[in-house]
Amino acid sequence: MSAPQSPLNTPEGQAQLLQDLLSAERAGAKVAGESLQQATDPQQRELLEQIRQGEIDSCKLLLNCLKHLGLEPNRDTGAFYGKAMAIESLDERLPFVDRGQQWVIRKLREYLPGCDDPLLRSELEQMLRIHEENSAASH
């Protein structure tokens, strides 16, 4: 067995990462949903719907991972929600939303090389692809 490549690749680190990501994805889905209600530009609406669906899909993937590990999912909404919604202008909020996508991408790229659980790897690689696609669509 290879040595953990990151503190995230310990049982405690892995559990914390999955819970943190779940809270963040809930926040992202809520931000995208509420931002969608404000958006009038068709391109912004399309992007926000894509992001909202990606966050919802990512929550499902994370719930699968937590269930697989026998862990009870938290019910928290991450602090990202309050920070993002404090930005009144949608034009200014969208780059902040993308920074949230980038944070998830960084965390998954840090964790995945040391992940040797096939189910977790599969679910989280799918989540990584969703975030990479949504971030690319933001530019």
**Mean of per-residue pLDDT scores for the chain:** 94
Mean pLDDT of 66-73: 97
* Residue 6 CB-density burial (10 A; 0-12 exposed, 13-18 middle, 19+ buried): middle
CA distance from start to end of the chain: 40
The predicted-structure confidence for 1-51, as pLDDT tens digits, reads as follows 444 467 888 999 999 999 999 999 999 999 999 999 999 999 999 999 999
Token digits for 14? 């892995």
100 — pLDDT class (breaks 50, 70, 90): very high
pLDDT of 136 > 70? The answer is: yes
Residue 138: Cβ within 10 Å count? 16
- pLDDT value at residue 139: 87
Annotated domain spans of the chain: 9-137
Fold of domain 9-137 = Ferritin (1.20.1260)
Mean pLDDT of 98-107: 97
Sign of the Cα torsion 72, 76, 79, 81 reads positive
Closest CA to 44 of 109, 14, 89, 100: 89
Q: How far is it between the farthest Cα atoms of the chain?
A: 53
* pTM for the whole structure: 0.93
Angle formed by the axes of helices 42-68 and 90-111, to 10°?
Answer: 30
- pLDDT value at residue 37: 96
Angle formed by the axes of helices 42-68 and 118-137, to 10°?
Answer: 170
Instruction: Write down how long the chain is.
Output: 139
CA 74 to chain centre: 15
Task: State which amino acid sits at residue 5.
Answer: Q
